[in-house]
Copies of this chain bind each other. A is one copy, B any other.
């Protein structure tokens, strides 16, 4: 994999040029793209042309793969939807402009499931091509895992950043709700849609987030302090595989041995309740956000999204309002609980399932999306079949840097154990 941070350091000290990094991406793409299918389109020549002039910027001219639901002026943006075949947006979305303003180079657009819902795209998991990479940010996670790019972007409405990161054995982060702007990104459920980032390791993601936002997010300058971790088994714990349960338990023990304070915790009832209603919010809003597509082009919508929208039509406004109210209340409770502490919990139920029928289950992610809390997938553990298992660190809303630090600590602990 390409470490954004390591590449940036080499560019900084003059031992590497940004255009050489583009060449490295191009080589990995040539080698693996036919199997993996991570990109909808790339423009290597344009990236190479632009990169060197950006060496002295925050992102040092590094190439970035952008999920194909982010509007771009330089590439068509098709949302993996037949309705939008060849669609060329008039401009770049705000998040892409943050990358450009920070001196990143848009390498290409990465595969997404249809309109960022759950229909499996053509992408395969670079760790084992017979397995799903997860979704909906499938191409962005796979591109990192296959060494095709050092930074990629995704979005999470259910579990579309953390799950593919875990399945592909890379670092991924869903920052606090709207830390990165969603303007110009195809909406699904505006109360939930959150822009995220992928990289080889946690410090790489932190480097990318720091560059894009101009905020103090780096975690590579001093060794991360030992955090207080709350092991949250939650009501879906028994839906985690034995390997995944063991991954969390082992991580908790190793973190404790390395100096972290570790406590078991049960989530308050209202927070568990909020979990249940996340789908009400997502589906109710999706039926309205995708109204034009649904009412005018139903036959061009795939079976998975089509079935969801058919069903979502009957969600009542009363149920939606109650779900929103409950979620608001639960956010206060969870944020009080996460003052100076971080939850350790599975990133998903298991390693990536075999096959491409589904992109996997977001059950371990939905709550954290609706809570608006920063979440990081920490890679480094594998199961018996050598497939990656991700553990998730969840922090308080707005404490993105501290959450990255806790995740970096855990990543170090895992690497050592």
Binding site for B on A (CB under 8 A): 73, 83-84, 87, 90-94, 96-98, 100-101, 178, 181-184, 187, 190-191, 213-215, 285, 288-289, 291-293, 295-296, 317, 321, 398
A94 touches which of B91, B178, B288 (Cβ 8 Å): B288
| Nearest CB of chain B from residue A403's CB, rounded to whole Å | 16
Known: A187-B183, A187-B184. A213 touches B317 (CB 8 A): yes
What residues of B have a CB within 8 angstroms of the CB of A87 in the complex? 90
Which residue on B lies nearest to A289, using beta carbons? B183
Q: Show 13 A/B contacts (Cβ-Cβ < 8 Å), sorted by A.
A: A83-B90, A84-B90, A87-B90, A92-B292, A96-B292, A97-B292, A101-B295, A181-B288, A182-B190, A183-B187, A183-B190, A214-B317, A321-B398
Report Cα–Cα, A310/B190, bound state, in Å.
29
Contacts of A182 in B (CB 8 A): 190
Give the residue name and chain of the B residue nearest to A93 (CB). Answer: B292
- In the docked arrangement, what's the CA distance between A295 and B101, Å? 9
When chains A and B are docked, how far (Å) is the Cα of A96 from the Cα of B289?
Answer: 11
CB within 8 Å for A293 and B91 given contacts A288-B97, A288-B98, A317-B213: yes
Q: Are B215 and A317 in contact (CB under 8 A)?
A: yes
The residues of B that contact A183 with a CB separation of less than 8 Å are 187, 190, 288-289
Which of B92, B187, B317, B321 contacts A291 (CB under 8 A)? B92
Q: A91-B296, A97-B291 are in contact. List 9 more A-B contacts (CB 8 A).
A: A73-B292, A73-B296, A94-B187, A97-B288, A101-B295, A178-B191, A181-B190, A184-B292, A321-B398
Interface centre among A84, A96, A183, by most B CB within 10 Å? Answer: A183
- A206 → chain B closest CB, angstroms: 16
Q: How far is the CA of A101 from the CA of B187 in the complex (A)?
A: 19
Q: List B contacts of A214 (CB < 8 A).
A: 317
**Residues of B contacting A98 with CB < 8 Å?**
288, 291
- Measured between C-beta atoms, what is the minimum distance from A69 to chain B in Å? 12
Q: A190-B182, A190-B183, A213-B317 are in contact. Are A289 and B84 (CB under 8 A)?
A: no
CA distance A254 to B295 in the complex (A): 48
